Chains A and B, each alone.
Chain A
Amino acid sequence: MKAQQERFLIVSVSDKRFAFPLKDIAEVMETFRTYPIPKAPPEYVGVMNSHGAPVPVLDFGSFLHGRPARQSGTILVIDSRIGSLALLVDGIEKIVSGCTAETGSERDWLSGTSLELEMETIPSPSLEKLVALLEETLQGSGATSRKP
C-alpha cells in the first residue's frame, strides 16, 4: 500500500533537524513574551498568552539536550487537539511534502518515525507521545525533568 503524502515543517534545534506534520502545528510565532510557571521544570521557558489562553512554552532543545532554556527562537504552537503547548525551536527551514517511515520502535517518540529528505533521515517526533511524556514527567514532581 502506498503511504499518503503529508506536509511537514522542517525545524532546526541545536544543529539537528526535525520534521513536524504541518497539520499538528496551529501557529508559528517569531516574537513572544512569557511569564514564569511556578514549580515547572527548567526546560519550560514560561507561559505565553496565545489568543487569551495561557499556553506553556517548552524549549525543545533544552528538553532534548539539557541545555539552559532560552528566551529567543521560533515558537510552534501545537494543535489544541493534541495539547496546550508551544515548542521553542531554533528556527524554521522550510515546508516539504513527503511520507514518513517507521525507523525505530513504536515507543521511541523522538525518532520512531522519520522523513527521508535530501539524502538525510530526519526524525519526525510524535507530538502526541511528547505531550504524554511531559504529562508523565509533571505528574511525578514539579521540579524534575525526564529526558527522552
Chain B
Amino acid sequence: MDMTQYKDLFISEVREHLHTMNDTIVALERDPGDRDKIDTLFRMAHSIKGMAASMGYEAMAELAHTMEDLMDKVRKAAFVFEAGIADLLLEGADRLADMVRGVAEDGTSEQEISGLLRKLAGYTPASDKQRKRSAPGLQRDETVPLSGKPGVTESIGQKTGDRKAGQQTVRVRTEVLDSLVNITGELVTTKNRLATIAGASGSRSLDTAVSDLSRQVRELHDEILKLRLMPFGAAADRLPRTLRDVAKKSGKDVSLRISGREIELDRSILEEIADPLLHILRNAVDHGIEAPEERLAAGKPPCGTIAIKARKEHDRVIISISDDGRGMDPCRIIAAAQEKGLISEDEGARLSPRQAFLLTCLPGFSTAREVTGISGRGVGMDVVRSSLMSIAGNLSIDSEPGRGTIVNLSLPMTISIIQVLLVGCASMCVAFPVDKILRTIDIRRETMTTSGRRTVFMLGNERIPLLSLSRLLGLPFPSGRGAGIPAVMVELRGRKAGLVVDRFIGQQDVFIKPFGRPLNRLKGLMGGAVLGDGQIVCILDPAELVR
C-alpha cells in the first residue's frame, strides 16, 4: 500500500508528540511522582511506535518501543523517574526528531541507534534507594531548579498535552493559511485601487460601496489572521528543555518561570522569535546568572531565576525575559563600545543607561570576558535585534548591576498588513510603518541649532538630532522650505532622532511584500507595497537606514 500520501500527516503528528514528550520529561524531573505525566510519556512513546511501524519506519519504531519499555518500568514502579532516565529519554526524543527530519527531507529514517538502544534497554537506576517510588501527589512548586539538581519548570495549569474535551479541530496545511493571507492582502490592494477610483469619480454610491468593502475586507483579514494565530506556548515549549541543558552544562542552578503561554501571535512571528528567545535565554544563563557560590557571597539564593512573561498591550505582544543575575553596568558597556570604536567619547557621554544597554546589540559588541560555547560566537544580540526588526518588532533592555537584567521584546501580533505613513522625499514616495514612528512633527526653524557637524532641534527640554532622509537615501536636497520642516521622529540605536522629509502624504493600510533575492540584501528596506493607483512604494526600516 502506498503510504506516501500520509507522510505529511505522520510528520506533523510525530512532531507534536515529540513536543509533548520533551515537555513531559522535563516536567517529570521536577515531579517524578506525577502519575498523569508518567502515563502521558508512556502513551507518547507507544503512539510514535505505532505510527512509525505503520509507515514502515522500522528504526524509529524500534527506538520508540525501547523508550516505551523504559517508561513501562517507571509506570510499574520498578524504577523511579530520575535524572538518568530523563537524560536518556531526551536523547531518544532528539534522535526521533532527527529521524523525522530525515523522513521529511529524503524519506528515510535510518540512523545508527544501536548504542542508544543498548543504553535504554540496559538502564539501571543510580541507587537502590531510588527504586522506591516517591510518594505520589508531591506538592507542586511553581518553579523548580534546573541544572545539577535538575528540574525545569512551567507555570501550573498549562499542561501542554491537555486537550479541551469535545473541541473540534481541522488540520490545515500551513501553505493554505499563507495563501489565504496573500489573497486577502491582494484584496486590500484592490480595495485601495477602488478607493482611488471612487475618489476620482466623485460617485457617492461608489464611495459607500468601497467603504463597505473596506470594512468587510478588514473583517475577513482579521478572521484569517486568527487562523494563523498560535499560542506563545508553542515557542516557549522549547525553552525549558534548552535551559535544562544549558544550566547543566554551565553548572549553575537556574529556575525558569513561564507565564502568558496562552497569548497568541502569528505563526510566522513565533517562528522568527524562536531563535532570538533561545539566544537571550542562553545569554541570561551564561552571562547573567552567577555561579551558586558567587550568588551566596552576594547574599542571593544559590538558585537563580529567569522569568519569561508574555502579555498583550493594545495591538502588540510584549515578551519580557528577566533574570536576577549580576546585571550590567552601563558605564562599562559605554567604555567597551568606545574602546571598540563603535561610538565616540562625546556620544558615550550623552547616552542614558537604557541607550547604553542597547549598545550590546551593535554588531561585534561583547563585554563577556570570554566567549563560551553556550552562548556561541555566531549569533549575537545584533542578530537578535535584526530578527526582531525584520518582523517590525522592537527590543529594549534594562538592567541594574547586582540585581539582574530585563529584556523586553515588543512584537506585532500579525505582520502582513500594516499601517504605513507615506512621505515624499525629492521625487520619491516612501513609507514608514506607523509603529516605528514615535510622532510626526513640523519643526520650527528657531528650534534648530548646530552642534559640531550635527543639526539638532529642541523638543521641550530634549535635544534631538536631525537627519535628512534625502541624504540618507542619496537624493538631492529640496530647495525653498517653508517655515515648518516636516520630520518623522523615530528611534535610532536606542535614541530619538528626527528624519526630515519633504512632505507628509498620508496613512494607509498596505499589504507588505518582502523583497526576494537580491533586493532583500539592501539594508533599510522592509519590502514593497502596491498602492491604490498601482504605484509601488518601498517601505523603510528607519533603524536599518543608518546602520
Contact = CB atoms under 8 A, between A and B. Distances in A.
Q: A and B from one assembly?
A: yes
B186 interface: yes
B525 A85 contact: no
A36 B522 CA distance: 14
Interface in B339-389: none
Interface centre among B429, B524, B525, by most A CB within 10 Å? B525
Contacts of B529: 54
Contact of B518 (A35, A38, A83): A83
A40 B522 contact: yes
B524 A39 contact: yes
Contacts of A135: 517-518, 521
Contact of A35 (B516, B519, B521, B536): B536
A71 interface: no
A139 B521 contact: yes
A42 B437 CA distance: 29
A39 B522 contact: yes
Given A35-B535, A38-B538, A38-B540, A53 B521 contact: no
Nearest to B516: A84
Interface string A92-135: 00000000000000000000000000000000000000011011
Nearest to A46: B536
Contacts of A148: none
Interface string A30-61: 00000111111000000111001110100000
Nearest to A84: B516
Given A39-B473, A83-B516, A84-B517, A52 B186 contact: yes
A132 B540 CA distance: 23
A82 B534 CA distance: 25
Contacts of A82: 517
Nearest to B535: A35
B536 A38 contact: no
Nearest to A137: B518
Question: Interface size for chain B: under 10, 10 to 19, 20 to 34, or 35 or more residues?
Answer: 20 to 34
A142 interface: yes
B149 interface: no
B119 interface: no
B428 interface: yes
Interface in B500-547: 513, 515-519, 521-525, 527-530, 534-538, 540, 545
Q: How large is the interface on A (under 10, 10 to 19, 20 to 34, 35 or more residues)?
A: 20 to 34
Contacts of A14: none
A47 B536 CA distance: 7
A28 interface: no
A49 B518 contact: no
Contacts of A83: 516-518
Contacts of B523: 39, 142
Question: Which of A39, A53, A54, A56 gathers the greatest number of chain B CB atoms within 10 Å?
Answer: A54
A54 B474 contact: no
A140 to B, nearest CB: 9
Contacts of A47: 519, 528, 536, 538
B179 interface: no
A84 B524 contact: no
A25 B528 CA distance: 22
A106 B519 CA distance: 25
Contacts of A85: 516-519
Contacts of A13: none
B519 A84 contact: yes
Contacts of A138: 518-519, 521-522
B418 to A, nearest CB: 15
Nearest to A56: B519
Which of B519, B525, B545 counts the most chain A CB atoms within 10 A? B519
A131 B538 contact: no
A36 B428 contact: yes
Interface string A51-95: 011101000000000000000000000001011110000000000
Contacts of B527: 54
Interface in B11-29: none
B536 A134 contact: no
B423 to A, nearest CB: 11
B224 to A, nearest CB: 17
B203 interface: no
Given A35-B535, A38-B524, A39-B525, A52 B189 contact: yes
Interface string B399-441: 0000000000000000000000000000111100000000000
A38 B537 CA distance: 10
Nearest to B524: A39
A29 interface: no
A60 B527 CA distance: 23
A137 B430 CA distance: 23
8 contacts: A36-B427, A38-B525, A38-B540, A52-B189, A56-B519, A85-B519, A136-B521, A143-B474
List 3 tightest A-B contacts by C-beta distance, closest first: A84-B516, A54-B528, A134-B518
Given A35-B538, A80-B516, 17 more contacts: A35-B535, A37-B525, A38-B430, A39-B472, A47-B519, A49-B530, A52-B189, A54-B515, A54-B527, A84-B515, A84-B516, A85-B517, A85-B518, A132-B518, A137-B518, A138-B521, A138-B522
Interface of B: 186, 189, 427-430, 472-474, 513, 515-519, 521-525, 527-530, 534-538, 540, 545
